[in-house]
Amino acid sequence: MMYWHTEHFHTLLIEDWGDEYTVFQPDSGKTHFFNQISIQILIFLSQHPATIEQICTVLAKQFQQNPDKEFTQNIEKILHHFETLGLVKKRNQGNPHDG
């Protein structure tokens, strides 16, 4: 099972502009703009590692969406982008709390 989890989430500085966010990432020195759904992914993953299916289920419910193929693809795409930015990592294991 592939689990996603955040990297150094506690170090991020987050400014809330009302459903839109600017985030400073000290590790890279970069500033990112997030919309509501993208920040929710990060917040969810900061609480516990999750699989893509788990993330999609929670977000689809939260944003009243159908967790269809397109929705899942968008989430998957952003996770890979987060990974490139060093905001999340994935781990391949049975129990996410073991490692």
Partner 1 sequence: MTAEKPQKTTETSNRESTVSTLETPQHTRRKLLKGAATIPVVMTLYSGAALARTSNITGEAANIDTAVFMDTSNGPQLLCVFPDAAQQQISGDTYDLGAAPQATLIQDPKINPIAASADKKKLEQLDACHAQGGIMISAVAYSSIMDKTGITINSTTL
Partner 2 sequence: MMVNQIPFKEFHLLLNQGLRVAIGPFNVCIQTTYKPLAEQLYQLYRHYRTAQNEIAEFHVRIVTERSNKNPFEKNVRFLLDGQSPFESFPQAQALAALEWGINLAIAVRVSHLLLLHSAVVEKNNHVILFPAWPGSGKTTLCTVLSYRGFRLFSDEFGLMDPQQGTFYPIPRLMPLKNESIAVIRNYLPEITIGKSIPNTQKGTVAHACPPEESIQQSTLTAKAKWIFFPKWIADSTTKIETISDSEAFMLLASNAFNYEVLGAKGFQAVAYLIRTCNCYKLVYSDFEDVMATLQRLIDET
Residues that bind partner 2 (CB under 8 A): 13, 15, 17-18, 20-22, 24, 26, 29-31, 33
Partner that binds at residue 26, options partner 2, partner 1, none, CB closer than 5 to 8 Å by kind: partner 2
Secondary structure percentages of the chain, helix, strand, coil, to 5: 45, 25, 30
For the CB of residue 41, give the shortest distance to partner 1 in the complex, in Å: 6
**Binding of residue 45 to partner 1 (CB under 8 A):** no
What is the end-to-end Cα distance of the chain in Å, rounded?
A: 13
Provide the angle, in degrees to the nearest 10, between the axes of the packed helices 52-62 and 36-47. Answer: 130
**Binding of residue 69 to partner 1 (CB under 8 A):** no
